[in-house]
Structure 1
């Protein structure tokens, strides 16, 4: 998924920045925080915790915003501040919900989160005002 995302969008698009940030930062910290502090489980998925999901949303959002700022400073793209924050929050929420879903015999969340965050980012940033 990382290779696919990079091939399709690379650095000239906010899509790759947001989706890779959610994949690497958000999903990575969700596992760490969930295993360490995840006492309270999500009702519909006893393998996931509230701490892990909240951590994924916050860290994925913050890394995405930071990386978008970094890439925009170097002129790869230009984004409106308030609009960008709303779009990144939406993508982070969608990715977090997908990551929290049970995956019994279905698509592993290591693929589904990456695919959904890429599609959500494409739909969000593909239609800039």
Structure 2
């Protein structure tokens, strides 16, 4: 059940980025670059905290010595323990046991969003966000509760998860284009089916992190097919 909660939190956070696509085109790259840069800094601050703490301790100790004082590290250790307890409580809720980073998956998807925006534009990026934000959670739910038939090219994924991803993303993409017709780069039904299938296929592949591959691949496919029609 923790995995489902984690996925739902992940989806909600990603889908909150969709309204940004209605901002002025001139500011969007800066906005997404700032968000991605913030995630990278957070990744360093949290996931490399042992190195950070040592460097800060050494720097503070050096400052005390410069004034002829002795630095007491006891209070610093107490703060470190509080920080570590906080991270452990968060980690238990937001990452899988096999994952080692709390922030790195977010860095991957935000960088993929930024690259998609720069190279393929906001109209293609919208479907990359939808595919990851909705499909990833749908695949997890369908796979967890109904995933009995494994995909032959990836035994960690199921056909039920694949179909869950495909169905929900196809429907969501079509409804999104009905609400915002400007995002339909070609026939809405065909585009929705393509988004659903491409996202489900890429998500099922045993390759690099799907937080990076799904939005980037979906955005690229929609952009190039839309441009060729």
Q: TM-score, normalised by structure 1?
A: 0.77
Q: CA deviation at 1:50?
A: 0.6
Q: Are the equivalent residues in 1 in contact too, given 2:177–2:183 (CA < 8 A)?
A: no
Consecutive unaligned residues of structure 1, counting only runs of 5 or more, are none
- In structure 2, the partner of 1:69 is 178
Residues 29, 45 of structure 1: alpha-carbon distance in 2 compared, 3 angstrom cutoff? same
Q: How many residues align?
A: 117
Alpha-carbon spacing, 1:25–1:78, altered in 2? closer, same or farther (3 Å): closer
- 1:80 CA drift (Å): 8.3
Q: Does 1:109 align with 2:223?
A: no
Residue in 1 aligned with 2:48? Answer: none
1:99-122 Cα offsets, whole Å, 9 max, x none, are: 11113xxx1122111110111111
Which of the numbers 106, 114, 137 marks the counterpart of 1:4?
A: 114
**Larger relative contact order, structure 1 or 2 (CA cutoff 8 Å, min sep 6):** 1
* Higher helix proportion: 2
- Is this contact kept in 2: 1:27–1:60, CA < 8 A? no
CA distance change for structure 1 residues 5 and 36 in 2, over 3 Å: closer, same or farther?
A: farther
Q: Give the direction of change, closer, same or farther, for the CA distance of 1:5–1:79 in structure 2 (3 Å limit).
A: same
CA contact (8 A) 1:34 1:48 kept: yes
* Alignment match, 2:200: 96
Aligned-residue Cα RMSD (Å) equals 2.2
Correspondence for 2:146: 37
CA contact (8 A) 1:17 1:68 kept: no
The farther-off stretch of 60-69 and 31-40 is 31-40
Give the aligned partner of residue 120 of structure 1.
221
**What is the distance in 2 between the residues matched to 1:38 and 1:87?**
27
Distance 1:43 1:27, change over 3 A: same
Structure 2 gaps, min length 5: 1-108
For 1:5 and 1:21, the matched residues in 2 are separated by 16
Q: Which has the larger radius of gyration?
A: 2
Q: Distance in 2 between matches of 1:7 and 1:78?
A: 14
